[in-house]
Structure 1
């Protein structure tokens, strides 16, 4: 039974950060109430909905979002900013709020995971709470507070102990973020936050995973914010070289390269990997071309690069083999955290918009490497655009120098990341070796350069589509990259 109509939901969706279709014409097609929970004496009830929206643009299609609602008989001033609507429900007026912002509602999720500690699983009101064996117990008195920076999902911090990610766009099946974190937690990987547990429900005979609870990393800094801060510091004093400035990111990039290589090695040890034949390379080349064809329909500005991109993809089709394994699938600086104990990799969901079954397929680890290389290139462009917005156009004699410094910052970061990645790759594949054999690193890079370059170009095409739809003024960043890549 629905308690809120489509119009209220549509108004609510366009006000959120996590709804991916704000720039597209859409309508609520249907909603389904999949769970009901109650919080004892606090007076709150929670109804969890799956809401399906349909798009009426040229791409059409539909997406399903998880919407947890906190229902109160009286207005709640403390969470007035999360108010959605006041509606009739079971013969009474209910004041409806986004449950993520309500600590009494979020305590229900925490209590479910606490209850699952002994048996490994516990069911409440249509939700099933699961725990990872051997992980730290959770204190039921932890207090929640929502984080503000995330976009595609919603995250809730429980004091300085745990963080819960509530998935917004959902689809049946195993969420790769949960699956990979579970395996790496069991392996005691130092490069991820431990997974404590997750929440799921059965819908139409299929399991839909709705949330995950992880260790909260107290000393963590967002990797992209750290990198942009480095560039801002560099450009504040353009009279110094990158190396002399104290804002060089090369060392951090190298440490991150080692961490990514070690995560890839861990994934190879926990999930199947294989070497595929030339037919797989041809299939990959077709997929890259298909993505380009689709992108050209959205971003006409890509047309000047199309012929050279197709030629690049043709070299991929000529490869004789393709090594694949489980990978991150959407790796960039925003999916990393720098802690006092080193780099951590987060958000193993894979590329947004793809079904879980596709995201979980083995892929080339060089796709992840390409994503990180593009991210280093994005940092100076982001700084330049945000500074222009904040300060307005005010060219001076040092602008060219700053642009050269920014390019050098990115070049050094990319180079050190790639060198460290390949070096760590050699060490993980040569068990017991402290260093690669002479020429081994150069040979690995030479053998994979065609694939890496194609993935870098493909990522820039993907970025162009994203920016065209979401931040048209930013499309210059991926287009400038394509002018140099192809």
Structure 2
């Protein structure tokens, strides 16, 4: 978190920009060695916890000087099985050990101390001012959205909830998401926010500005500034609180408990349907024929087989999993595809004072940008939300007896049904009518979850595994 109180912040103006060949701070070799040691401990780093063999500094762009601290944007690559991955880091350099930033200290190079500069209130304040002013620092452009009103009177505070990026909240007015891992081109989070804003969607925060810079010769989104939903509640927190209320009420049913969530699930289903409709109007739609559906299901089977090769619980179920996917493979053509959220779950939703808002349209960060910007079936989003209800129901812990399991299943079923009811009321299409195909998307998601939990949280593996068993046994029936 940020240690500095909000106040007036100096602005890194274009006149402070220096020749990029004359970088600030310590030498590149020393910085690369430091990053190799520091990165595995960062929650936004895709390979956290793994030993790094090498870090390659690709570019260094001076941003400005703040008292005795100099700041630069550093782009670097790390090796991965799929090829080098590019990351962005804003590095601050101090001549003396920066006690205020000890919690984000990277290390010492050539007698200078490097730290994560996004946690410096002077830097985050200057970034906000630069977006409002439309400043360019060398090849980096700070661009306000047309007509945007940006309040620059408040200080920035890094929040700790982000997994793959870093977000800075400015009071109750705006939030800046700095993308850590970069791919050349327009980030779908910025692209979709702009499209939904143009469509008049009431379920998003307004886009206020972006930071852009060159990556591999292409203008690339480095950060996105949007409005901030103050006094909102995260959907995941609300759902799990509802489950805890249910489990604390003895033998009452889910619809008899004060914290019943089904009405909110219904509203959330309506909101997602409205977002899907706006996305369809903004980006258009297409249809998959029978061969393309077969190709889609084939990719799901291949993914399951890859997981089964190293996760025993899935390997044992592969024959039944193939059979379950084959039911969807027999679906006829005419499956509509369009732009979707791409990583929809309760944690990507906020209950505001006026309704449900959807955030983080970046898609799954581990997927290539081309995949995240492609058209997909809306059922993929719906399946993600249905899986999220299942997780919420089984997340409360406590006694693991049959009564607890039954009540968790009852809560999940009630809220899954309410969500689909809400979606159908707006879209005119009940997702449950696409039973085998919806089940395939759910099964694909659940298998991915099993693989993730197997590698990161083994004690959680039974949650998605029981969904895999349910889906291969029910065949996607309503």
TM-score, reference length from structure 1: 0.87
SS in 2 for 1:252: helix
- 1:303 matches 2:315: yes
- In the aligned structure 1, how far is the partner of 2:115 from the partner of 2:322? 49
Give the structure 1 partner of residue 407 of structure 2. 405
Deviates more, 1:185-194 or 1:368-377: 185-194
Alignment of 1:340-379 (within 5 A): 340-379=353-392
Give the structure 1 partner of residue 68 of structure 2. 43
Give the structure 1 partner of residue 132 of structure 2. 114
- TM-superposed CA distance for 1:330, in Å, is 0.8
Counterpart selection for 1:27 from 53, 66, 85: 53
Indicate if the aligned counterparts of 2:342 and 2:380 stay in contact, CA closer than 8 A: yes
Indicate if the aligned counterparts of 2:337 and 2:375 stay in contact, CA closer than 8 A: yes
Give the structure 2 partner of residue 431 of structure 1. none
- 1:179 matches 2:191: yes
Deviates more, 1:287-296 or 1:266-275: 287-296
Give the structure 2 partner of residue 313 of structure 1. 325
Q: Deviations over 1:238-294 (max 9, x none)?
A: 232211111211111111000000000000010021122112111111211121122
Q: Report how many residues are paired.
A: 445
- In the aligned structure 2, how far is the partner of 1:73 from the partner of 1:279? 63
Give the structure 1 partner of residue 145 of structure 2. 132
Q: Deviations over 1:207-256 (max 9, x none)?
A: 22111001010121111111111111221222322111112111111110
Give the structure 2 partner of residue 484 of structure 1. 470
Indicate if the aligned counterparts of 1:34 and 1:126 stay in contact, CA closer than 8 A: no
Give the structure 2 partner of residue 17 of structure 1. 43
- 1:279 matches 2:304: no
Give the structure 1 partner of residue 246 of structure 2. 234
- 1:470 matches 2:472: no
SS in 1 for 2:396: helix
- 1:86 matches 2:108: yes
- TM-superposed CA distance for 1:60, in Å, is 6.0
- 1:325 matches 2:338: yes
- In the aligned structure 2, how far is the partner of 1:51 from the partner of 1:220? 36
- 1:207 matches 2:219: yes
- 1:103 matches 2:114: no
Give the structure 1 partner of residue 77 of structure 2. 52
Indicate if the aligned counterparts of 1:156 and 1:163 stay in contact, CA closer than 8 A: yes
Give the structure 1 partner of residue 19 of structure 2. none
Give the structure 1 partner of residue 11 of structure 2. none
- In the aligned structure 2, how far is the partner of 1:132 from the partner of 1:480? 46
RMSD: 1.8
Against the structure 1 CA distance between its residues 24 and 289, is the aligned structure 2 distance closer, same or farther, given a 3 Å change threshold? farther
Q: Deviations over 1:289-316 (max 9, x none)?
A: 1211221233221023211221222233
- TM-superposed CA distance for 1:404, in Å, is 1.9
- In the aligned structure 1, how far is the partner of 2:55 from the partner of 2:42? 18
- TM-superposed CA distance for 1:402, in Å, is 2.6
Deviates more, 1:26-35 or 1:317-326: 26-35
SS in 2 for 1:69: strand
- TM-superposed CA distance for 1:67, in Å, is 1.2
Alignment of 1:214-233 (within 5 A): 214-233=226-245
Deviation beyond 6 Å, 4+ runs, structure 1: none
Against the structure 1 CA distance between its residues 67 and 298, is the aligned structure 2 distance closer, same or farther, given a 3 Å change threshold? farther
- TM-superposed CA distance for 1:455, in Å, is 0.2
Q: Deviations over 1:344-385 (max 9, x none)?
A: 11111112211111111100000000000000000122222x
Indicate if the aligned counterparts of 1:267 and 1:327 stay in contact, CA closer than 8 A: yes
- TM-superposed CA distance for 1:100, in Å, is 1.8
- In the aligned structure 1, how far is the partner of 2:358 from the partner of 2:352? 11
- TM-superposed CA distance for 1:187, in Å, is 2.2
TM-score, reference length from structure 2: 0.89
Q: Deviations over 1:400-426 (max 9, x none)?
A: 333222211111010100111112111
Indicate if the aligned counterparts of 1:329 and 1:359 stay in contact, CA closer than 8 A: yes
- In the aligned structure 2, how far is the partner of 1:72 from the partner of 1:268? 49
- TM-superposed CA distance for 1:126, in Å, is 3.1
Indicate if the aligned counterparts of 1:132 and 1:197 stay in contact, CA closer than 8 A: yes
Against the structure 1 CA distance between its residues 202 and 60, is the aligned structure 2 distance closer, same or farther, given a 3 Å change threshold? closer
Indicate if the aligned counterparts of 1:256 and 1:417 stay in contact, CA closer than 8 A: yes
- In the aligned structure 1, how far is the partner of 2:96 from the partner of 2:188? 40
Indicate if the aligned counterparts of 1:193 and 1:214 stay in contact, CA closer than 8 A: yes
- TM-superposed CA distance for 1:160, in Å, is 1.2
Indicate if the aligned counterparts of 2:184 and 2:216 stay in contact, CA closer than 8 A: no
Give the structure 2 partner of residue 156 of structure 1. 168
SS in 1 for 2:78: strand
Q: Deviations over 1:298-347 (max 9, x none)?
A: 32210232112212222333222221000011111111111111111111
- TM-superposed CA distance for 1:23, in Å, is 4.0
